Structure 1
Amino acid sequence: MIKFEVDENALKMIELKLDGMSAKAPDVLKKAINDTAKKLKSDLKIEVKKNYTAKVGGINKAISIKKATNKQIVAVVTATGRPIPLVQFKNVADDSVRAKAIKKNKLKPLTLAGADHNGKDLKSFVAKMSNGHVGIFQRTPGKSMKGNGSRTLKNGKKTKGKDAIKQFYGNSIVKMVGNEHLVYPTVERKANEYLKESLKKHIAKVLEGN
């Protein structure tokens, strides 16, 4: 979340620049803040696409703006959304299934050495479910799917059916936007610059009679 507001000193400065039209200062400030919030939202989308390998659908809806008003001169840019299936990020469906979420990182194998109930490598795989969903999955020894018959593991324990599977997920848009090393600081640095530009534009419009 990016909360963007301006203190009373800024409002007084705008009133002075408006030269006799101080009553219009709150409206000028509101418009400038909302313009800034809109630009920050656009920058967030650009930075997410620049730094992450996923084809992020619905990012425009995931980032919302609560606009400033004349009574409450505060704008809030907020991101929402659930973790994105890892299959939507860059991946290679080899024996181990390798994947990466951040563009500057290397592909990492998702296989766990010697982790299955027979002491073999626990490999990940890409699969299409009965509902048509495609994802990257891994079996979970010791946990079973329901209704598939029991079987005995190497350690003597019995399961109630086939090994359950878990799906791998990458970051949500919320985490991408809030990344303190990639996205957030790059966008935050531009906020004051955008606000100054917008204030000049809207003050000039009032002085010109628009």
Structure 2
Amino acid sequence: MIDIKFDESNVKMAAALLRVAPKEVRGAASAAINRTLTRIKSRSSVRVRERYLAKAAGIKSSFSTRKASSGNLAGAAVSTGAPMPLASFRIVNSRRGPVKAKVLKAGGLKPVKGAFFKSFPKGYEGPMMRTAKSRYPLKTPYGPSVPSMIENNQVVEQIGQDAENFYNKRFAHEVDHRMAKLLGG
């Protein structure tokens, strides 16, 4: 979970402006929160892909957002999802030896015990594993889930710092914009 703290100068400015135009300050806070939620979604994708070999679309699609309004100044960007298929990462199928996979950018290819490469008529082509000694049923091996990749300490810390900085800048910008509009400038 990422908590965003207000910059002290923004708090003082908001307190002074609340006396003059409370609706404008609440609207500015709401707009800044919603824009920060979008930023969290995109920056999470960038930060996760710095460490893992995951695709941006899979990361972004795992997010659901609850937007803020001027009546409710709380928003949330929540990543949910099951483990991603190993085929979403880098897979190498050699003629000799096991199927190898690479999930982290910083590591090498690791053999996946019991995995083999299979093509199906419906279009899936990727690693499979047997669940019993018989030929079927087969199962798809999985890697980490998007929420677990985001929960990595380095990733969460970077996302949190970026979101806090962005929110404080955006709030100041929104207040300036709305006050200029209100004052006719």
Question: Given the two structures, how large is their TM-score scaled by the length of structure 2?
Answer: 0.80
RMSD over equivalenced CA pairs, Å: 2.6
SS of 1:99 mapped into structure 2: strand
2:77 maps to 77
| Unmatched tracts of structure 2, length 5 or more | none
- Map 1:101-116 → 2, pairs under 5 A: 101-111=103-113
Deviation per residue, 1:88-134 (Å, 9 max, x gap): 211211211111211112211123xxxxxxxxxxx421111343322
**Deviation of 1:3 (Å):** 6.4
SS of 2:83 mapped into structure 1: coil
Question: How many equivalent pairs are there?
Answer: 177
**Deviation of 1:69 (Å):** 0.9
Give the alignment partner of residue 172 of structure 1, picking from 108, 129, 145: 145
SS of 1:34 mapped into structure 2: helix
SS of 1:84 mapped into structure 2: strand
Q: Which has the higher helix share?
A: 2
Change over 3 Å in CA distance of 1:56–1:30 after alignment to 2: closer
Please say if 1:198 is aligned against 2:160.
no
Please say if 1:125 is aligned against 2:116.
yes
Does the CA-based 8 Å contact 1:5-1:74 persist in structure 2?
no
Change over 3 Å in CA distance of 1:57–1:20 after alignment to 2: closer
SS of 1:136 mapped into structure 2: strand
1:139 maps to 130
**Deviation of 1:175 (Å):** 2.1
Percentage identity across paired residues of the two chains: 27
Runs ≥4 residues deviating over 4 A: 1-6, 10-13
1:23 maps to 23
Deviation per residue, 1:159-184 (Å, 9 max, x gap): xx436433211122222222233x22
SS of 1:74 mapped into structure 2: coil
Question: Given the two structures, how large is their TM-score scaled by the length of structure 1?
Answer: 0.72
Deviation per residue, 1:30-68 (Å, 9 max, x gap): 111112112111101112222221335444332222111
Paired with 1:41 and 1:170, the residues of 2 have a C-alpha distance of 21
Paired with 2:77 and 2:168, the residues of 1 have a C-alpha distance of 18
What amino acid is aligned across from residue 74 of structure 1 in structure 2?
A
Paired with 1:172 and 1:134, the residues of 2 have a C-alpha distance of 20
SS of 1:170 mapped into structure 2: strand
Does the CA-based 8 Å contact 1:26-1:70 persist in structure 2?
yes
| Unmatched tracts of structure 1, length 5 or more | 112-122, 145-160
